[in-house]
Amino acid sequence: MQTVRSFFVPQWSSDVRLDGKTAIVTGGNVGIGKETAKDLAGRGARVILACRDMVKAEQAVCDIMREVKGAKVVAKQLDLADTTSICHFAENVYNTEKALHYLINNAGVAFCPYAKTVDGFETHFGVNHLGHFFLTFLLLDLLKHSAPSRVINVSSMAHTMGKIQFDDLGGEKDYHPVRAYAQSKLANVLFTRELAKRTEVMGVMAYSVDPGMVNTEITRHVMRPLVDIVKTFSMMIKTPAEGAYTTLHCIVTPENQMHTGGYYRDCARAQSSRAGQDDGTALKLWAVSCHLLGIRWR
């Protein structure tokens, strides 16, 4: 029987197995990432938790191993706020993995006070967009070699409030944490669109995802009373496991039922904002991202 809650939070399940597949989940130690990793491990995939804090990461590995019998899960250090760490992580992956079928760019920060990454990028733009852009660039050869493979970029409904401020990407002239988060999540959608165009012929598909409103630690920088107000709409708030559904849908659904470059919400294709469909901005963002990172990615 359909409950009121299931109207707001559609349920999902699939019995697809992923034996022999390898997945990387950034930010796999808590929240949506941990639930995504646990589900993938339960389907038989080898899962790499890519985390900045190895103590938390090893704890997550133990939790998943306890809950999923025979789970093949390991943790590797990755700080998306540091391009040197991203290079070391990628090098480690190339040294240990023969294949990579799913790269799940899930980690994220939200609504942080103004700060910069090790490389001097504003934190939201640096971690949520540039960090994952660079990681994908470095791992693309392995994804191509393992094709058919998929990249999932975890965006947000917040992208609809976003604008790519090319004249102030770092928010140095005028910083607002909500704007900075929204810009980074729009960047996730635009990156996905442009990536898909370039990699479809190689057998690497790309999808962006809005997980919905999920009860995780992402609100750690938001004032408590505001969080409490939002939580009064608890019927619409997903558990972390429910927050992982759309990412998992984009992994297990047969390719001919998916649209590479597309934006997904509640386990179905959805429409991103008009700004999220602007191919000119996507191309410019690609060029600017390459320039900022000092890479050539044609």
Ligand X SMILES: NC(=O)c1ccc[n+]([C@@H]2O[C@H](COP(=O)([O-])OP(=O)(O)OC[C@H]3O[C@@H](n4cnc5c(N)ncnc54)[C@H](OP(=O)(O)O)[C@@H]3O)[C@@H](O)[C@H]2O)c1
Interface ranges with ligand X (CB under 6 A): 26-27, 29-33, 51-53, 56, 78-81, 106-110, 127, 154, 156, 211, 213-214, 216-218
As given in the structure block, the two tokens for residue 158 are: 């917040």
DSSP 255: G
Query: Catalytic residue at 181?
Result: yes
Q: Which is nearer to ligand X, 227 or 287 (CB)?
A: 227
Output the smallest distance, CB 112 to ligand X, in A: 9
C-alpha span between 151 and 171 (Å, rounded): 28
To 10 degrees, what angle do helices 245-252 and 31-42 make? 40
Output the smallest distance, CB 25 to ligand X, in A: 9
Output the smallest distance, CB 140 to ligand X, in A: 19
Concatenate the DSSP letters of all residues of 94-163 into one string. Answer: HHH-S---EEEE-----SPPS-B-TTS-BHIIIIIIIIHHHHHHHHHHHHHHT-SEEEEEE--GGGGG--
Q: Which is nearer to ligand X, 134 or 286 (CB)?
A: 134
Query: Which residue's structure tokens are 């019927």?
Result: 235
Q: Is 216 helix (H, G, I), strand (E, B) or coil?
A: coil
Output the smallest distance, CB 215 to ligand X, in A: 7
Q: Which is nearer to ligand X, 216 or 289 (CB)?
A: 216
Q: Which is nearer to ligand X, 230 or 283 (CB)?
A: 230
Classify each residue of 198-209 as buried b or exposed e, where b means 16 or more C-beta atoms within 10 Å of its C-beta: ebeeeebbbbbb
Given 181, 207, 245, 264, which residue is catalytic? Answer: 181
Report, as residue numbers or ranges, the catalytic residues.
Answer: 181
